Amino acid sequence: MNREIEEYYNKYGQKVYAYLLSICREPDTAQDLTQETFCQAIKSLDRFKGDCSVCTWLCRIAKFLWLKEIRRRKYHPSSHEEADLNELDISVIPPDDLIESSDTKMYVIRQIHELPEREKEIILLKATGALTFEEIGQLFGKSASWARVTYYRAKQKLRKE
């Protein structure tokens, strides 16, 4: 069983980290939650039914842990978490050759973070290359077509702005 989790970690660890980084925007938190995701996976491996890909299953665990962390922070805020959660940490966004000026980059990033949560999450998952449309659809309990259409519509909203 531990060997199986080790193989999952080697194969999906970076994807889970990229997913968490895209939703929490904090590298240290994403790293901690990635480790916790695999700890939880070890505990629940016997309950994994195979009704989705392993990557999707791990991302579901990761999302649950992130939501749990948000609730914990709400009740036990620390001094370093006093910054506005809507403030964007530009250092976690991979550089993009298509966006040359920093003003334009900041504008695009702000627009992404003004999207509804679901659309923002899908845009960031695709931008980081963390998951395929099929995996994104599974993560949300929808189809790959739904993920593709939602991604397209979110991109259209960004283009309008």
Give the per-residue pLDDT at 161: 65
Give the per-residue pLDDT at 101: 47
CA distance 57 to 55: 5
Which stretches of the chain score pLDDT less than 50?
A: 79-101
Give the per-residue pLDDT at 102: 55
Give the per-residue pLDDT at 132: 82
Q: What Cα–Cα distance (Å) separates residue 143 from each residue in 58, 115, 116, 132?
A: 18, 21, 19, 11
pTM over 0.75: no
CA distance 1 to 132: 27
